[in-house]
Amino acid sequence: MSARPIGDYAMLSDCRSAALVTSDGSVDWLCLPRFDSPALFARLLDEEAGFWAIRPACPAEVTRRYVEDTLVLETTFRTREGTLVLLDALALGRGERAHALGTSSPGLLLRRLACTEGRVPVEIVYAPRPEFGLVRPLMQPVRGGLIARGGADVLTLSSPVEFRTSGSVADAALTLRAGQNVGLALQAGRAWAPDPPRRTSWAVARRIRDTIAGWRSWSRGHADYEGPWRRHVNHSGRVLRAMTYAPTGAMVAAVTTSLPESIGGERNWDYRYTWVRDASFTLHALNTATCEEEETAFFTFLSRACATQVDADPDLQIMYGIDGERDLSERRLPQLRGWRDSAPVRVGNDAWRQRQLDVYGELLDAAHQTYRDIGPFDPLTRSLLIGVAETAARRWQEPDQSLWEIRGPSRHFTHSKLMCWVGLDRAIALSPVLGAASRVADWTRVRDEIHAAILTRGWNEQAGAFTQTFDGTQVDASTLMMPLVGFLPPDDPRIRSTVQAVATRLTDARGLVYRYRSADGLAGLEGPFLLCTFWLAHALALMGQDVAAGRAFETAAACANDVGLLSEEVEPTTGEAIGNYPQALSHIGLINAARAIGDARGADDIGGRAEPG
């Protein structure tokens, strides 16, 4: 069983793929060359599924951080006899600066050890397991490293250190003294292609320096945000950049699959894809974090991936692969036990087949946010957006699975109706640039019908809140979106009452917010959802309650680990991170809430109350 806390992991990224590294120097998750590729190391999900560990061969105190303005990880081990510094990076393309892609092939994991004082004995254990642990490759020592062959992959480990091999595991031992350093590199290639070149320690150090320069070049161009929690916002912007597939502009919801929402339960999904649902949240966050190029690229990706004859299609798909793929059929991996025995482990996500009516609103809201930045829509995009609005107008009264992807009977979820209202509201605003003036009267009529229906059937006087479903009684955190999207003014008594209901009935003792507490067709209970806590902070800020908003913000932000990464949820009893990780929506919620609180405080109070940095 894999028992390492999820929050113990730091992320590496080359904006195409990702790795997760423990605090004691073990790479337990690596997918190359893409976020959604089969894992080469998957000890995150099963102890037998592969890793690459570098650590002192003696007790050590450990601290770590990201090198300033980068996602290059620096881990410092202090032993009784000396200090070892380990730098880990997924190499950006050679010469990659700002948004210009580099010239070299992606998928190069770099690791550099340096002894800064005294002497430190070091042990290295290398156990690749391609295809999520199915393959135990043959190891072949070669000059300057190791070659591992098995299945469709060949893995080249460049190392000046001599390894011993035993089956499909290799290990090495060395002692470094002050001033000495060693560089290692791992690159995957296809079994039928020439082996990747082996790299010297000097070459590894050079690529790490180039990767640091690449990240800093990007960060310098995205540091204009001046509101509260500036460090948090800038770092979260970098995390979102790290979760963006640079060739297409798609952003993955997380870099992992099957990390559970409830330990030992079945709520284990593959999040290495792009959700239309996240679009408007994402674009607002990218705008706040001054990621204009990512904002434009993300909407362009969505508009191309979603391109379809909407009127002929029964449903606009809710999610896509990072190249725009549509078939994301789900399957189970029985060879993996799952994180803390949370089976099954899944790849693919059958939610792509679900009906979620909210996506119409999210796509049109995304278009509304970006059209001034990206210029006139091309004819195909205009046709798509008009079709989306028409479909929202035609289908808003149908039941669906909601943004929470309930795997049970379809119902009339209030949030789904709300987002159909948003879609038509934004389509009306966009009608001059869409060339759709003739549709405005019909769209306005249906928009107003939806508004009236939500006010009558979505509001429950006894609950004192807008509810999860029409004619329902259950409170749901998604109703916090009402003031965020402009459905009602933040000072409307029904909004204030709904926000209060969420704050009192859906929060735990720490103030973290659950999505809902109703049955959803799955066994087990999930933890509080960090995005929902940031939504609460955002809504409170819009209501002018900036002190309470700051407290809610701090409660959620405090759930970040030592390198500033946020999970999806928090385990209710222990407070540890659960769910797929790092979670883009949590970082998006942080950025959007920080901006809303800053706006509520006003320009004269930037950097004021509850401001950690």
Q: Is the peptide bond before 344 cis (omega within 30 degrees of 0)?
A: yes
pLDDT at 315: 63
Of 606 and 517, the structure prediction assigns the larger pLDDT to 517
Alpha carbon of residue 573 to chain centroid: 24
20: helix, coil or strand?
Answer: strand
Q: Is the pLDDT of residue 200 over 80?
A: yes
Q: Which fold has domain 222-605?
A: Glycosyltransferase (1.50.10)
Share of the chain above pLDDT 70, in %: 93
- pLDDT band, residue 113 (cuts 50/70/90): very high
For the stretch 136-151, pLDDT in tens is 999 999 999 999 999 8
For the stretch 558-611, pLDDT in tens is 999 999 999 999 998 899 999 999 999 999 999 999 999 999 988 434 433 334
Contacts of 492 (CB under 8 A, 6+ apart): 483
Helices (H), 13-164: none
What ranges do the domains of the chain cover?
Answer: 6-219, 222-605
Query: Which of 276-290, 357-371, 493-507 is the most confident on average?
Result: 493-507
339 strand-pairing partners: 2
CA-to-CA distance for 257 and 326, rounded, in angstroms?
Answer: 18
CA-to-CA distance for 38 and 35, rounded, in angstroms?
Answer: 9
H/E element, 41: strand 39-41
| Six-digit token string for 216 | 């800093």
CA-to-CA distance for 593 and 579, rounded, in angstroms?
Answer: 21
Return the closest-CA partner of residue 466 out of 436, 494, 438, 437.
494
pLDDT at 605: 45
| Six-digit token string for 400 | 């669906």
CA-to-CA distance for 192 and 206, rounded, in angstroms?
Answer: 29
Q: In the block, which residue shows the tokens 């929060």?
A: 507
pLDDT at 405: 81
User: In this structure, which long-range contacts are made by residues 486-489, counting pairs with CB atoms below 8 Å and at least 24 apart in sequence?
Assistant: 486/425, 487/418, 487/421, 487/422, 487/451, 487/454
For the segment 119-124, the average pLDDT, to the nearest whole number, is 98
Q: Is the pLDDT of residue 504 over 70?
A: yes
- Helix pair angle (440-453, 379-395), 10° resolution: 40
CA-to-CA distance for 353 and 318, rounded, in angstroms?
Answer: 8
CA-to-CA distance for 173 and 17, rounded, in angstroms?
Answer: 29
pLDDT at 409: 85
Which CATH code of 3.20.20.150, 2.60.120.10, 3.40.109.10, 2.70.98.10 fits the domain covering 6-219? 2.70.98.10
Q: Is the pLDDT of residue 211 over 70?
A: yes
Q: Is the pLDDT of residue 435 over 90?
A: yes
DSSP 463-474: TTEE-SBTT---
Contacts of 304 (CB under 8 A, 6+ apart): 324
Alpha carbon of residue 281 to chain centroid: 12
Q: What is the mean pLDDT of the chain?
A: 91
For the stretch 297-331, pLDDT in tens is 888 898 889 887 555 554 688 899 999 999 999 99
pLDDT at 100: 66
| HEC-encoded secondary structure of 383-414 | HHHHHHHHHHHHHCCCCECCCCCCCCCCECEH
CA-to-CA distance for 288 and 589, rounded, in angstroms?
Answer: 11
For the stretch 522-552, pLDDT in tens is 656 788 999 999 999 999 999 999 999 999 9
Alpha carbon of residue 40 to chain centroid: 20
For the stretch 49-100, pLDDT in tens is 999 999 999 999 999 999 999 999 999 999 999 999 999 999 998 888 766 6
Strands 73-78 and 138-142 come out as unpaired
pLDDT at 422: 97
CA-to-CA distance for 97 and 548, rounded, in angstroms?
Answer: 40
56: helix, coil or strand?
Answer: strand
For the stretch 164-173, pLDDT in tens is 999 999 999 9
Q: Is the pLDDT of residue 378 over 50?
A: yes
Of 372 and 330, the structure prediction assigns the larger pLDDT to 330
pLDDT at 313: 54
For the segment 268-287, the average pLDDT, to the nearest whole number, is 87
Q: CA distances (Å), 297 to each of 6, 152, 178, 426, 581, in order?
A: 30, 32, 46, 20, 23
CA-to-CA distance for 567 and 577, rounded, in angstroms?
Answer: 6
| Six-digit token string for 598 | 């800053």
